[in-house]
Amino acid sequence: MTLEVDSASDNSALLKKYHGEASMAGSEIVVIIPEAHGEMIPIIQRCLMSVREELRDDPYIIEAIKVLQVGGYRSSIGSFWNAVVDDLRNKIMFRSVKLFNQSVDVGRKIETYEDFQNYVNDDQLIDGAYKIGVVGWEASKVLRHAKETRHIFSGHPKSSDPSIIKVLSMMDDCIKYVLNAEYPAQIIDVNDYVSNLSEANFDRNVVAIESALGDLPEVYKNELANRLYTSYIHPQSTSILRSNIEFVAPILWRVLPKNIRIQVARRVDQELQKAQADVTQAAFAFIGHVKSQGYLSVVARRYQIAPLVNALTEAFDDFPRENEAVKNLVPYASLVPEDLLAEYVAGLTKTYVGRMGSSARWSRTDFFADSAAIYITDMFKLFDDHAASYFVEAIKQSDLLKRRIQAPAKLRRLRVLANIVAEKISGTFQERAFIESLCSENKEDEFFALLR
């Protein structure tokens, strides 16, 4: 497409010829631009060359250019806006009419292009296009301004005459945000997608899943997140379905707004009230897979963590059980409720210190749960002053621990934990002197004096 410019002084010489593509062969649109506005010609050329190729023979755009030649600025604005509306309707239908109906209340269900013509006004069209991701926030604001330009100058003949600059400005905005913008990605059908998850041949391609889920509008993300949770905890869900959900859900959760993650996590409380153990455990398992334990309510956290803390206490000196108990507590290390914190800290401390002994199989005398010890140091790094006070309390009140740290090897292990705590406590921590004496090898006498 080309725009030929020929400068001349008389009116006939001001005819500028616009030649179309092959689909417009033989047609010629003549545009008259007043000589005073000759500097606008490059802008017009840029506008016409900027629309998507398939729209360069659009009848609305052609009509807008035709009337521009005789100074029909009002009609030109109206025709160009019709091209924008037509493109928005087609893009919405391509992306998801179902989602448009969920996002905008127009008083009836929209199904066809004719329904858009008959029942959807321009404001609803722009609002819906923004909500389902056809246009962005900036585009929606600019388009509302363009719509008002059309309403004032094309809808009200008694308004003042628009200038060529007003026309070109409106056209340039419409081209930038709509007529030059490519079609958006199609929205997946949530019902079909969840149904596909139950199939063994579901494609576990991360790129494909990210592409399908990442571009979803919030209303669809909300629906899909809740559907995945509901399907996962259903007693009749197959292992194939649950396995595929375990693969897909964490990918979706990375792009979920915080409010949706909280809402899904709080649904666990509903299962607690129903007292169906298998469903409840499935609910906690789902929350674990998407790493949203931090959004659980206090009641749900206590329900899940209390048995784990008790299991750690009961596993004392049984190293395999201690390893398992500590591993199960790792996801909840920063979420332990207040009424469980003292037992939790004491259990971790005793497990890490371990016991002295002998073995016919091993030459060592320093025994502890090896796997658990790896996790415990990281769990201590999440401590604050409150948890640190329970650490001090556990040392002072446990006669067993006091006896065990008489062995230098066990005191060194306790000192490892104390050094971590020392880095986490605040300057106003009341037991700072106790922690500092435990951390220093040169202050062992002072530490044991404080321990009495």
Q: Is the pLDDT of residue 45 over 70?
A: no
Confidence of residue 81 (pLDDT cuts 50, 70, 90): very high
What integer best gives the mean pLDDT of the chain?
Answer: 84
- Percentage above 90 pLDDT, the chain: 49
Lowest-confidence region among 25-39, 130-144, 229-243, 361-375: 25-39
Q: Average of pLDDT values for 94-98? A: 88
The confidence score (pLDDT) of residue 185 equals 79
pLDDT, one tens digit per residue, over 395-441 is 999 999 999 989 999 999 999 999 999 999 998 898 899 999 999 98
Does residue 36 have a pLDDT over 90?
no
For residue 46, the model assigns a pLDDT of 64
Query: Looking at residues 334-358, what average pLDDT do you find?
Result: 90
pLDDT bin (cut points 50, 70, 90) of residue 118 is very high
Q: Check whether 151 has a pLDDT greater than 60.
A: yes
**Contact criterion met (CB below 8 Å) for 302 and 340:** yes
Domain range summary for the chain, segments of one domain joined by +? 2-179, 188-296, 300-452
pLDDT in tens, 159-177: 788 888 888 888 889 999 9
Q: Is the confidence at residue 386, as pLDDT, over 60?
A: yes
Stretch 139-158: mean pLDDT, rounded?
A: 86
Q: How confident is the model at residue 73 (pLDDT cuts 50, 70, 90)?
A: confident
The predicted pLDDT at position 363 comes to 64
